[in-house]
Amino acid sequence: MQTRMWKKLHHPQKNDEAVREAAQLLLDQQVVAFPTETVYGLGADATNKQAVQRIFEAKGRPSDNPLIVHVSDRAQVESLTTEIPPVAAELMDAFWPGPLTLIFHSNGAAAENVTAGLATVAVRMPDHPLALALLKAADKPLAAPSANRSGRPSPTTASHVYQDLDGRIAGILDGGSTGVGLESTVLDITADIPVILRPGGVTKEDLETVLPRVVVDPALAGGTEEAPKSPGMKYKHYAPEAPLWLVEGKDSFFAETLAACKARGERVGIIASRELADALDHDRIIRCGSRRRLSEVAEGLYGALRAFKEADVDVILCESFPETGVGAAVMNRLNKAAEKKVKDQ
């Protein structure tokens, strides 16, 4: 399959044409990648089973993992759900368009492979002009997971999508780098107390400004602790090309860990904040923002995970960040990407 790339979509008129063409491909049951404010999504008509099937095939995604449906207005939310509870209305007022996915009871309008047979459906309104224009032009809700090959870091540029999916999808709308850099927060509002199923761009602290109570799914903490015990799982999520070690402790401990790797003759890549990077004497370092502004770290993280190639490094040492605000999402992804954790005793 020839993958069409619509480039440099900054000019409004050129955008219109590209968006029209991309929307037509979607109506022809093809899949098209598009930018959102979080990461690039791989979209298909959420009401069409065959179109959605193409997403799973292009990504190599397990069919029991449900997809998020993207909408451009509340009428589309109503078209997918049995009811919109008051708490959902409040959350949509506060955070949409934006990086918050809400789990509703499904009315069955989404294709069965979108929800993987569940009675619920995940919905969000992305905060990106190209995504919203595409949704309006297609006039359909779009199922869209992150536009990476399953297991790889999510794409934050069109060229990341191209690396993973060239020849496997109909097209890519290039809208430059995404802003948030990490996926949306997934919040289950079908229970009495809303549950964060995946930390993301809207933080727990943000949600607490609207919700009297919100809890984090206990499986999140459990899952990360279990990862090293099941080797088959270690490269399953967000995996870079070389093993990643998550280093926890003072900067001096990071420097000692680096020295030990070098003493063993290992070629080391480093992912670190500007502050730590400046304190280390090493040349293969990807800086991802300041540790005092975790939104910068979130923005740079997936690009950093893709930066080191298997041929160039034996191991990637990565800094640990505080789990406050968007740091919770950053550390959730890093724990999944890590082969092991190295802690200062």
Q: Rule CB under 6 A: which residues touch ligand TXA? A: 36, 38-39, 41, 65-68, 99, 101, 103, 115, 118, 120-122, 126, 144-146, 183-184, 186, 197-198
Q: Which residue has the tokens 């098209």?
A: 32
Distances in Å between the Cα of 269 and the Cα atoms of 157, 258, 263, 286, 334 are 21, 9, 15, 8, 15
Q: Which stretch binds Mg ion (CB under 5 A): 3-11, 125-133, 138-146, 315-323?
A: 138-146
38 binds, among Mg ion, ligand TXA, none (CB under 5 to 8 A by kind): ligand TXA
Q: Strands 215-216 and 32-34, how do they pair?
A: unpaired
Peptide bond into 199 cis (omega under 30): no
Would you say 30 or 148 has its CB closer to ligand TXA? 148
Indicate whether 38 belongs to the interface with Mg ion (CB under 5 A): no
Q: Which residue has the tokens 């930066």?
A: 307
113 binds, among ligand TXA, Mg ion, none (CB under 5 to 8 A by kind): none
175 binds, among Mg ion, ligand TXA, none (CB under 5 to 8 A by kind): none
Would you say 146 or 332 has its CB closer to Mg ion? 146
What are the residue ranges of helices labelled H in 28-115?
Answer: 49-59, 74-80, 86-95
Task: Name beta bridge partners: 34.
Answer: 41
Would you say 41 or 300 has its CB closer to ligand TXA? 41
Indicate whether 47 belongs to the interface with Mg ion (CB under 5 A): no
- The secondary structure of 251-305 as a DSSP string is HHHHHHHHHHHHHTT--EEEEE-HHHHHHS--S-EEE-S-TT-HHHHHHHHHHHH
Contacts of 191 (CB under 8 A, 6+ apart): none
* Smallest distance, ligand TXA to C-beta of residue 315, A: 27
Indicate whether 36 belongs to the interface with Mg ion (CB under 5 A): no
Binding mask 141-170 for Mg ion (x = CB under 5 A): -----x------------------------
* Smallest distance, ligand TXA to C-beta of residue 184, A: 3
Would you say 172 or 317 has its CB closer to ligand TXA? 172
Structure tokens that stand for 11 in this block: 């000019």
Report the residue number whose CB is nearest to Mg ion.
146
Q: How far is Cα 159 from Cα 192, in angstroms, rounded to an integer?
A: 42
Would you say 181 or 269 has its CB closer to ligand TXA? 181
* Smallest distance, Mg ion to C-beta of residue 39, A: 8
Peptide bond into 141 cis (omega under 30): no
* Smallest distance, Mg ion to C-beta of residue 102, A: 17
Number of residues that bind Mg ion (CB under 5 A): 1
* Smallest distance, Mg ion to C-beta of residue 203, A: 19
Would you say 187 or 294 has its CB closer to ligand TXA? 187
* Smallest distance, ligand TXA to C-beta of residue 281, A: 37
Q: How far is Cα 44 from Cα 138, in angstroms, rounded to an integer?
A: 10
Distances in Å between the Cα of 50 and the Cα atoms of 28, 106, 118, 284, 294 are 10, 19, 18, 44, 40
Q: Which stretch binds Mg ion (CB under 5 A): 28-36, 126-134, 139-147, 319-327?
A: 139-147
* Smallest distance, ligand TXA to C-beta of residue 215, A: 15
Q: Which residue has the tokens 């802003």?
A: 179
* Smallest distance, Mg ion to C-beta of residue 138, A: 21
3-state secondary structure of 317: strand
* Smallest distance, ligand TXA to C-beta of residue 94, A: 17
Indicate whether 81 belongs to the interface with Mg ion (CB under 5 A): no
Task: Name beta bridge partners: 342.
Answer: 247
Contacts of 317 (CB under 8 A, 6+ apart): 244, 245, 247, 254, 257, 258, 261, 268, 269, 270, 271, 342
- Kindly list the residues in this chain that would bind Mg ion in the complex (CB under 5 A): 146
